[in-house]
Structure 1
């Protein structure tokens, strides 16, 4: 199934060896992760070396492609001060462990952020990190600049639209034709919200003195179903968002602020997750139902001319895993922690 979609990059929330072994010889490039609950332990150099020895080096030797390790996910969004304080030291520890294994420059180390890390994101030129995150962002950016690793951010225009549908044009959120927005400071025009969000992060990074850190979208998507108060969560809108996004990515578009730097995007997610907690939308970001049928048309598998370069997978659909018990996709579609 993944080969039919010509997926070339996969982002996981862990480093499941079954998944990595299943993709040996396929050329698919992986971003693997150290879950939040294990981040603090990675500050210890011995623990970081043991993790790299178990989850990275044997798979690379066997032919797997691992380009990046994310240390935690959205750690600055919650209130876990100990986790937040440990994240950058843990990243440095993992980076040193990779270097000791001869993998410096081959496998990057970074962490993924929620857009909540921003205090301001509109207009894009006014982008600024929140005061609460600032103490951690400064050393983080220094590390990313030093190691040439990307700043990962999870961007969901859906949240902005469903939170204020009267003021946020749906067409602007879905990459559809619209009047657009002009940044009064830069005079740059934005015809979609995702690119405005990315440029707001660039502006916040530049405000702290860094111009050499690339921003990548580590998650984006649109739910096909939601609760009654989740405006815009429909199959039609989900398909429109992903189709239009993939066209932009395939065209290697840059943002108005970085027009010559194609936006690197991971789409969330391949399958719906029937056991994920929270509002209904959280269980309905998948492009496919658990039986493998598409939630909406992407123009793929012979239906269209363009193909997505990247996708990502999540976890939570344990009740339906038996549907794929004999298929290699099972271990990928459902990453069980």
Structure 2
């Protein structure tokens, strides 16, 4: 199993970018092939699509091959993957699994408590605590979040300490020089009657590992080192394919699922035309909705394995907790 998984990872590593360039594909990963509605024991390269189409409706270049380097492929419909964000009571002390958010967003979920240089912090997503990069260190974090009637400063529970910047693609260049040159050349084109128009180049971005941020509680007594409906976190573990998982989130509460894919590279929509590509992710089935972003994901022994941050009606996307720990320099 380990050797086979290593081999398929290598093949996926060589082909994932060309697969993601195909229309309709939003993620690639490794999972058990599903045939006739039943999960088999065969590992496959899984391509997640917004909608399953008949072969007649797909161009040849956008068709997913039946196999890649002799390894089978599978196509699953997940819909468009989007950052999960959106309604709950004020909790003091606040455990993981409850509404929280930067004072300028709607609401997300308080994941769990971690330590940075020995100091207690709240862990959640960048797009929950840091407003998708638009926040300033020291900004107010509310519990409950603004969408759940949290107000500043009455419900301020913490201040933003640190966030991992999300690298976005699909955003038109804001460079004034590039935009100015494009405007001048378009003016010349008007004079000569040309219909061709130039646009500033859309920015490309590096791939991301995590959507994560931490905030320091104003008072350590205002937070509780456990997760609503789950209990205390019992250390951490590496997520594995087929692992049973659970989470407690602001919108859907306590839900369970299974790691269906590992080594996932996925394009996530953040609104306003912003898209971010994440690699080395985990994919589970439908176990979350908007507002569950930031939820801690645990195995059946209450070990922390990931940080939920995105999904669709059919899927849930999770950061590997080891990547969260290393990028933020935090621990349990």
TM surpasses 0.5: no
The structure with the greater share of residues assigned to helix is: 1
Instruction: Tell me which of the two structures has the higher relative contact order, counting C-alpha pairs closer than 8 angstroms and 6 or more residues apart.
Output: 2
TM-score norm. by structure 1 comes to 0.22
TM-score norm. by structure 2 comes to 0.22
Q: Which one has a bigger Cα radius of gyration?
A: 2
